[in-house]
Amino acid sequence: MLFSGVFDLPWWGYVIVALLLTHITIVSVTLFLHRCQSHRAIEFHPLVSHFFRFWLWLTTGMRTREWVAVHRKHHAKRETVDDPHSPQILGLNRVLWGGVFLYVKESAKRETIERYGDGTPDDWLERNVYSKHVVLGLTMMAITDLILFGLLPGALIFITQIAWIPFWAAGVINGVAHFWGYRNWPTDDASTNIAPWGIFIGGEELHNNHHAYTTSAKFSNHWYEIDIGWNYLCVLRALGLAKIKRIAPTPHFVAPRPVVDAQMLEAIALHHYDVLVSYARSSAQVGANEAAARQTMAEMRGELSTFWERSLISRDQLLAKLQDWCRRAEASNIAPLVEFSQRLRSYA
């Protein structure tokens, strides 16, 4: 019985089992470790949280506080020498094929854990089981696979399980998704969306969207983008097992304001990525031979970003700067810039 396993499946049956088990693991990572614990975008019912913690203990050996701390540091130090896994600094090959070793190295730094690991579970189970006996969970998973599926299939399924997150999350997402892909939003890092259908890695493929709206529980931003993790969250919410705290804001527009006011300042700060994308489209309408206009557009784009970045000046001073910006834009006689300023007045 032990050698052949409880279940005698055809080869494709074992493949389906492996894909199902690894999918549960990636869902646990993206929903619990990433969206819930790292960015506080979700609150789960205790039963759901405990299931995710237990499953991750069995299949990954990762400690919640360590994973959260390394990920938060990545956001805080993105694309710098202090980023734990930036392919822009370390090279794509090193992160893609050796991402797990970069994770282990960073998670061993006490300073990283203490500075970025706050707010993660610290109950009896975490202290005495999940964090203390990491190897025990993996051992239990290995024995279960061998008993259920037999020696060779069980061993292959277990190897697939423990290799899944190191390759796809630590390698592909941290590597490829900061190196190659398409970008919806002009974030100040190299994050990309690998594919518009975030199914294979639970929605994590939509990485540029995540870096733009870090605390959003939903990673898809356009109709053609599918975030399967969000679909699962909607089901859990309908069952009363999850509470969605934040999602990316959707721009709303009203008739152009005749007067630039504080509400307009708040609106463009809230929707600043949409503002930048819209400005880029307006800039592209300026002809290549209109050098002066292109220079003006470039200079005013730099000023535009000051209306949502942290500043030492007061809100009233920022509002006065925005009023002056719109006045100069509309007096510029540059048609795309004039039209953009009118659009800017419409953000709600």
Q: Please state, as a whole number, how many other Cβ atoms lie within 10 Å of the Cβ of residue 192.
A: 21
Give me the pLDDT at residue 1, please: 46
Q: What is the mean pLDDT of residues 250-259?
A: 93
- Under 8 Å between Cβ of 154 and 5: yes
Q: Is residue 336 a contact partner of residue 279, using CB atoms and an 8 Å limit?
A: no
State the pLDDT at residue 143. 97
Mean pLDDT of 285-301: 89
- The answer to whether residue 2 scores a pLDDT higher than 60 is no
Q: Which residue has the higher pLDDT, 2 or 162?
A: 162
Average pLDDT over residues 195-224: 94
307 pLDDT higher than 90: no
Quick one: which of 92, 44, 25 has its CA closest to 235?
A: 44
Q: How large is the average pLDDT for residues 229-251?
A: 97
Supply the pLDDT for residue 310: 66
Identify the band that residue 306 occupies on the pLDDT scale cut at 50, 70 and 90: confident
Give percent of the chain with pLDDT exceeding 90.
Answer: 90
Contacts of 312 (CB under 8 A, 6+ apart): none
Count the Cβ atoms, other than its own, within 10 Å of residue 165: 27
Cβ atoms within 10 Å, residue 1: 7
Q: Using alpha carbons, list the distances in angstroms from residue 96 to 27, 85, 167, 172.
A: 21, 9, 7, 6
> CA of 299: how far to CAs of 143, 274, 307, in Å?
64, 19, 14
- Tell me if 342 sits within 8 A of 257, measured CB to CB: no
Give residue for tokens 């925005």: 322
- Of 172 and 199, the one with more pLDDT: 172
Q: Does residue 294 contact residue 286 with C-beta atoms inside 8 Å?
A: yes
Q: Name the pLDDT band for 313 (thresholds 50, 70, 90).
A: confident
Please check the confidence at residue 3 and state whether its pLDDT lies above 70: no
Q: How far apart are CA 304 and CA 256, in angstroms?
A: 18
Burial annotation 90-110 (CB, 10 A radius, 16+ → b, else e): beeebbbebbbebbeebbeee
| Global pTM exceeds 0.85 | yes
Are the CB atoms for 170 and 103 separated by under 8 Å? yes
Reported as a single tens digit per residue, the pLDDT across 64-111 is 999 999 999 999 999 999 999 999 999 999 999 999 999 999 999 999
Predicted pLDDT of residue 136: 97
pLDDT over 70 at 323, yes or no: yes
CB atoms within 10 A of CB 186: 14
The residue count for the chain: 348
What pLDDT digit, counting tens, does each position of 49-76 carry? 999 999 999 999 999 999 999 999 999 9
Q: Mean pLDDT across the stretch 222-240?
A: 97
The mean pLDDT of 240-255, rounded to a whole number, is 95
**347: helix, strand or coil:** strand
Q: Which residues contact residue 113 at a Cβ distance below 8 angstroms, ignoring those fewer than 6 apart? A: 65, 66, 69, 107
* The pLDDT of residue 52: 98
- 231 token code pair: 């679909």
Give the mean pLDDT of the chain: 94
Instruction: Give the domain ranges of the chain.
Output: 11-244, 262-344
pLDDT at 200: 80
